[in-house]
Every structure is written in C-alpha cells, then in structure tokens.
Structure 1
Amino acid sequence: MTYLEAQDHLAKIKKEVVINHELAGVTKLFDGEKTCLFENVKHYEMPVISNVVFDRKSIADSVGVEVDKLIDKYLACMAEPLPCEYSQEKPAHKSCVQVGDAVNLLELPIPIHHEKDGGQYITAGLLIVKDVATGKQNVSIHRLQVFNEKEMGILILPRHLWHLFSQYEARGEALDIAICIGAAPALLLASQAITPYGVDELEIANAMLDNQLKLVKCETVNVDVPEHCEIVIEGKLVPSVRKVEGPFGEFPRYYGPAGDRPVINVTAICRREDAIYHTILPGTKEHLLLGGIAREASMLRTIAHTVPTVKAVHITFGSSCRYHAVVSIKKEHEGEGKNAILAAFSNSHEIKHVIVVDDDIDIFDADHVEWALATRFQAGEDLMLIKGSLGSKLDPSSDKGISDKIGLDATLRLDRDSNKFQVMRIPGLEQMKREDYL
C-alpha cells in the first residue's frame, strides 16, 4: 500500500459497492491505470483489492527491475530457482482459523464478475499442491467457482496439476491443495512460468524476491504455503466426483462453457485479522499481463535456440496476451525470420499469428509494427500458412481447438537496395523538448 500511495497508483473506493458486477465494473474503469481498494463492500467487513498490478512497470517494480530488464530477470530466476526455507514465526494469516463446521466460503467477499458467470469465482488464488514422491510443489492459478460454504468447482487444463491429480484419482485418493489469496505479485508471476514438471514455482518466486520467501505448513493438509499472504483456503481435490462448473468470462474476453469439473472440499480457511481479499477481473491487464510476460520469456528462450540473435518477444494485449506474437531479431542470414516463426509456433500451441521484424522496430508500438508490415512485407514471399494445427480450445473461432495459423516475415532482405529503405530522420530531434519552444 505504501508503494502504491507514494506512486499515486491507489484509488480508494469509499462508496459502498456490491460484489456482484458493480465491483467488477469499477475495477474495469481503472484498468491499466490504478489499483482499486474497495473499503466498503456491502454485507462484508473485509475490503477487496483489484488491479494490484496493472501495467508492465508495476510488475517490474514488484520484482525490483526496470521494465526492459523484466524478461531477463524472469529467465534468470527460472534458470536458477532458490529453495525456500521454513519460517519459525506464526504467520499472520493464521490469526483467524476456521476448521470443520466453522468453514464458510460465503463469508469471503468473492465477486460475480460478468453477466453470465455461473456464480462467485476466486480468480487470484495460487493453488499449491505437493508431489510427495519428490517433495516439490506445483503452483498455478485456476478459476474456482464457489458452490456452497465448503465446496468449489475447478477447471483443470491438461498441465502439471492434472498430471498429479490423475495419479491420485486413479488410486481413489484425494489430493491435498491450498489456495493462497493476497500473495506478492512475484508469486503470481512465478506461478505462470512455463517449466518442465517438477520445477517448483515457489523457488522461482524466491529467486525473484532475492531469497526472502519463507514457507509455513498448513493446518489440515500436507502443503507448504508462503508466510506472507492474506488468506489461505485448505482442502482436498476429491477423486471421481464431478459437478457442473461455469460458464465463466475467460481471457479471450468471451465466456468459457460450463462442464462437469472436479470438486474441492474445503477443510480450513485461515486469514489475517485485517485481511484484504484480492480478486483479478478476467480480461484486464492484471489478468493478461501476468500470463503474457511468462509466455514471452518462454518463447524468447525457445527462439534463441534457433535464432541466437533474437532480441525480444511481445505477446500482444489485443490478442489477450495469448494468440499474437511479435518477434524482434537482428537478421544475419536469409530465412532466419521464417525460422523464428516456426520456433514461436513450437513454443506455444495457443499462438495463431507471428510477426517477425528487424531490431530497429519497437515491437511494443503497434503503429511501428504495422509500418514494418506495410513497407517490408510481401505476402507472396513472406507469408507462411499452417492449416489444421492444434490451437486454443478457448478460441471461439477454432474448430474445437483446431486452428489455422500464419507467420509474417516483415524483416528486410539482406540484399535490398539500401537507398529504397532509408528511414527519414530530422537531425537533432532526439535532443529537442517541447517545453523549450512554448
């Protein structure tokens, strides 16, 4: 809070708001601009916070780097994660502990965000599980629909959590889980890291936080959670039980459909005495950038194996930080642009369109990228089309996830006539300031 107030990034909402739709609406009004602290939520004593990180700079500030060094730090921490130590102190989130019959999810100010959402959804919860065979934990964020006081439905995609849960379900065993709400942004960012199974995302977060992350044990499940968070929900992901979850407004800014999903039985709720509930509004910059930055880092690493002169990757907000990638390379050989396209597609099945540009193009400036396409790209030579590839099942234009993809090589040919591509320049413009002339 101190940082947000010092930067004039905190909007304190003192007017009473209701958790169904109104809270989401106010959050949307400040999307990309300020954090919202709702101090007066109707029927609830607990305040709510949203837009905790709302642009690239706020995310970079949260891990102590400049914006242009954020991906470098992320990759470095993924390469060298740091094991976490245990805290010897009683954590603040165990000030109030509910177990057994006292558990009541409905006491938390969990919003309904969008018009056709199936119910109240936890959207900023770090779901942590432990692989007891290795001792390593997995951290991920999932949409969690509250069914009643003690039950939630969860959408699990076929990734690491599904891999572990499937093993437990095959044995007829429940999987212990913990959901941490109100954790540091570095933990949210680390949870999105694209890594092999067995890499502990909390160790990546610990590296981001310069070895300051400490863990504590849960009350009712075999899971270790960060010492500093606002709320911890403990429970069990039960085998062979499915209930209808959804629909839910998802990252493409359309509704993800309802379906039969696994169920979590809640065994405990622990919280700070002065807890603040964190919600992420789907489709906002907070939601999309946290996932987009992780994907950019992963894609940059993959492309570098094929095109070592790759400079940067931008997975655009307009594509919901999932579907469109712009790649900057310092081209040294013909064909490298197309190799970069193929490498980008190999990194993520979600990517539909890849644009590769020279390193003089600002890939975060949509107008500059469009200029490169307009003046350096010819479809007959520079377009790649891949039909019938696996894409995102949440892309409504796909056929159950089967999608056509295109790559656009907007790099200059090395044997070009240099006189045709001399960029206009005004001498001395870089040193001029508008205020000196007013």
Structure 2
Amino acid sequence: MRKFIDEMREQGLVDEIERPVSTRFEAAQMAVKTDRVLYFHDCDGKEAVMNLTADRRALAAALGADEKGLIRRLAAANYDGNLKPMGKLEMRPADFSELPVMTFYPKDGGPYITAGIVFSRLDGVENASIHRMMVTGKDRVAARLVEGRHTYVMHREALARGERLPIAMVIGAHPAVTFASCTRVPEGRELQFAAELLGGELPVWECPNGVLVPEAEIVLEGYIGNETAEEGPFVDITGTYDFERIQPVIEFTGMWTKENPVYHSILPGGSEHRLLMGVPYEPKIYRAVAGVTTVRNVVLTTGGCGYLHGIVQVRKNTQGDGKNAIMAAFAAHTSLKHVVVVDEDIDPFDPEDVEYAIATRVRGDRDLMVVTGVRGSSLDPCREGDGTNVKIGVDATMTLGEEEKFVRAGWDE
C-alpha cells in the first residue's frame, strides 16, 4: 500500500494532512469533500489514509489498467496467479486501542473498521471478503456477515462441527488485494486473483492459526465462534443508515504490525466504498451481455451509488439486442435497479451524453422495460418489506436501419 501511495504522490494526487485530526467525525468530514487521497500524519496520534481509490482513475492505476479499458481487462481474468509462501508471522496480543479506528457519523453504533479484509479458512479453502466491523472491545468486533455469502456459510459449517472458524484480518493491503476481496470469483480464488492483478505472483504469510495473509500494514488473527452482539446502525452505500442486527463476534487472539503502521479507512457511503462495491460487478455484467450482443463497456454510475444504476454500451447486431442486454445485465447483478443501454457513439462515463441518448433515442411506449415483484438490493430504502422491488430498463439505442436520423453534426463527417 505504501508503494501505491508513493505513486499517487508522484502524480500530485495526495493531500498531506499534517495537523492533528480526530478519528471521531473529523476525518470523515474531510474525506467526504474530496476524492483525492488523504494522508493523515496525526490521526489521534497515528498515521492513516482515506480515499485510497476514491476515483476510477486511481482504482484503474492500482489494478494496472487505464480507466477506459479497465472492465475489458477484468472481464478477461483467469484468477490464476501464484502464491509465494514467505513463512510465519509472530503475533502479540491484539489491542484496537493501538489503531485509529474511526467513528464516521453521529448515529453510528460505534467505531467501525471498514477496510479490514477478512480471510477465513475451512477444509483447505480460503475466502477473502470485506465486512463492516464495529469495535466492541480491545480485541473484539461485531461483524456483519451477510446471509448466504461465503464467510457466513463457512462460519455456519464450522459451528455445525462444534468448531470456531479461524480467520485473519489485514488492514492496509495493496488496493489490488482489497479489490480482489470485493469481487465474486471462483470459490477460494481471491488471493490468486490479486496475484494475477499484481503481475502473477503474491507473497503470503501464515498466521499461527493457519490462515494465509498477504503483505499489509496490520494483521490480526482470531476466530468466529458462538458469541453474538448488537451491530449497527451503520451508513451504507446509499448514504442512509442500515439498522441494528445481532451479528457474530470475532475474537482476535493476536496482532502484528509494521513499524508505524498506516491505517486504511474507507468512508461509508463515500466514493471509495461505492467503487469497491460496484466495479467488481461491471466485468460480470460485461460477460453476461457479451453472450447476447457485442458489448463495448459497462459502468455502474456514481449517482446510482456505484451499485444500483448501470450504463451498458453495445454495438447492436439485431433490433432486439438492446432489450436482451437489459435482461442479461439484470441477471448478472441482481441488485441492479435501473439500466440504460446506449450505442457506441455515446460515452457511458458521461452522464450528459447518456441523458442525450435517452432524450433523442427513447420512445416510452416501445423502449422501456418494467419488471415488478423481483428481488432487489437490501440496501435500497424503497424496497418492499419482502425484499422485492421494481426494475426498469431503458433501451436508448438507435433503431437499426434508421441510423442516419440520429447522426450528430460535426466537422469530421
């Protein structure tokens, strides 16, 4: 992570915050005002970084790609990088008072770790994912384990055997590792995906409980057992509060840090949070749409919380391709709420250009698809009590055979 921060410094993209900053609200209030990297030299006496990949250009740079070609590169991933064993880590007792864990909003249930990557290991399979974790003690957190996701399933399986699930958490990993942990990949291939993104090989260390971790500023090991605690409220990607739940407690039994570690924190509901939630779904949508027509690009928009709104750019081969692309996008990302399909001449990264396509190429009686009573995102405040919602697809493409009606005037005709 430090190397990546230095690369951002060389490009003039880091704001150095030398003055003392509080972990309670103040750091969050500064991060929400900019997408630039914020490096805090004195965050309650510790070093910390926010907005590490808060814009698409920075994220693309971290993944070794250019912004416009990022999704095509990710869609071609094989998840086949190599792991290089580096030995075992020696731990000391865990103590969260040594870290600048932040409280972001007034109604937060407590201080939250938001950029901690949790590695879980069971039967030789290792999963990596990010969970929001509310600190409840010097060595304990209440972790939101989403039902049906891999960590949740592994935890249930361990409990069924009468065992605790061994885990490790890293804070301050390279952004490629963070991104890989946010991506739906073949089971247990997150570290291999990170290795692929970083050039083919990733050094890993073994914690005393057997869990493998990549290089990071901070490493903690522990277990998820039967203990539970109230977790929340917490602000999610929509900028609204998610409610309290009873969630599993992670007990940390050991801790390792670099000298003067740099703590990474992700602003809940901020640009980095939205990019890390949404961009991993873009290659999945890209591959799905490629199965029905020629796809050029996919963007989950910032205004759509990086998760609920998508723009799909295609080259139509038949008149029905726009609607087929809509259905493929909804199938690939079930939390997607609204999707707009545009032609190759429309820039999917430009909201004004997309609006132009809607204004000039859409007839409401012909080009809208409305699907009711379908599963939506649990994060959407307007979902029904049973979790269902309404999805709308907009085919904003030109009518095949009538392209001359839609040609925009210019000097390169």
Q: What interval of TM-score do these two structures reach, taking the shorter chain for normalisation?
A: over 0.9
Matches within 5 A, 1:161-310: 161-196=151-186, 198-219=187-208, 221-226=209-214, 228-239=215-226, 241-307=227-293, 309-310=294-295
In 1, Cα distance between equivalents of 2:350 and 2:224: 44
Pick aligned residue for 1:36 from 29, 35, 38: 38
The runs of at least 4 consecutive aligned structure 1 residues that moved more than 6 Å come to none
Pick aligned residue for 2:101 from 99, 110, 114: 110
- TM superposition score normalised by structure 1: 0.90
Aligned length in residues: 407
Secondary structure in 1 matching 2:220: strand
The AA in structure 1 aligned to 2:379 is L
Matches within 5 A, 1:12-51: 12-30=16-34, 32=35, 34-42=36-44, 44=45, 46-51=46-51
Pick aligned residue for 1:149 from 135, 138, 159: 138
- 1:436 maps to which residue? none
Q: Which runs of 5+ in 1 are unaligned?
A: 429-438
Identify which range, 119-128 or 149-158, moves more after superposition.
Answer: 149-158
Q: Which runs of 5+ in 2 are unaligned?
A: none
In 2, Cα distance between equivalents of 1:131 and 1:310: 38
The AA in structure 2 aligned to 1:321 is G
**Contact 2:326/2:340 (CA < 8 Å) preserved in 1?**
yes
In 2, Cα distance between equivalents of 1:122 and 1:229: 15
Identity %: 35
In 2, Cα distance between equivalents of 1:324 and 1:365: 14
> Which structure would you say has the larger Rg?
1
- 2:113 maps to which residue? 122
Secondary structure in 2 matching 1:114: coil
Deviations 1:207-232 (A, max 9, x none): 1111231111013x220001x21001
In 1, Cα distance between equivalents of 2:207 and 2:370: 50
- Two-structure CA RMSD over aligned residues (Å): 1.6
In 2, Cα distance between equivalents of 1:354 and 1:75: 19
Secondary structure in 2 matching 1:98: coil
In 2, Cα distance between equivalents of 1:419 and 1:411: 13
The AA in structure 2 aligned to 1:37 is Y
Secondary structure in 1 matching 2:42: coil
1:360 is aligned to 2:345: yes
In 2, Cα distance between equivalents of 1:80 and 1:104: 35
The AA in structure 2 aligned to 1:343 is A
CA shift, 1:427, in A, is 4.6
Secondary structure in 2 matching 1:139: strand
In 2, Cα distance between equivalents of 1:278 and 1:119: 17
**Contact 2:71/2:298 (CA < 8 Å) preserved in 1?**
no
Structure with greater strand percent = 2
Secondary structure in 2 matching 1:189: helix
- 1:3 maps to which residue? 7
Deviations 1:91-118 (A, max 9, x none): 7xx5xx422xxx3212211000111110
**Contact 1:73/1:208 (CA < 8 Å) preserved in 2?**
no
The AA in structure 1 aligned to 2:183 is A
1:375 is aligned to 2:360: yes
**Contact 1:36/1:49 (CA < 8 Å) preserved in 2?**
yes
In 1, Cα distance between equivalents of 2:201 and 2:260: 23
Deviations 1:203-260 (A, max 9, x none): 00001111231111013x220001x210011110113x32100000111111110111
In 1, Cα distance between equivalents of 2:230 and 2:138: 17
In 1, Cα distance between equivalents of 2:63 and 2:334: 29
In 2, Cα distance between equivalents of 1:337 and 1:246: 41
The AA in structure 2 aligned to 1:386 is V
Secondary structure in 1 matching 2:69: helix
**Contact 2:142/2:249 (CA < 8 Å) preserved in 1?**
yes
- TM superposition score normalised by structure 2: 0.95
**Contact 2:130/2:181 (CA < 8 Å) preserved in 1?**
yes
CA shift, 1:29, in A, is 2.3
CA shift, 1:336, in A, is 0.8
- 1:431 maps to which residue? none
| 80 and 40 in structure 1: CA distance in 2 versus 1, 3 angstrom threshold | closer
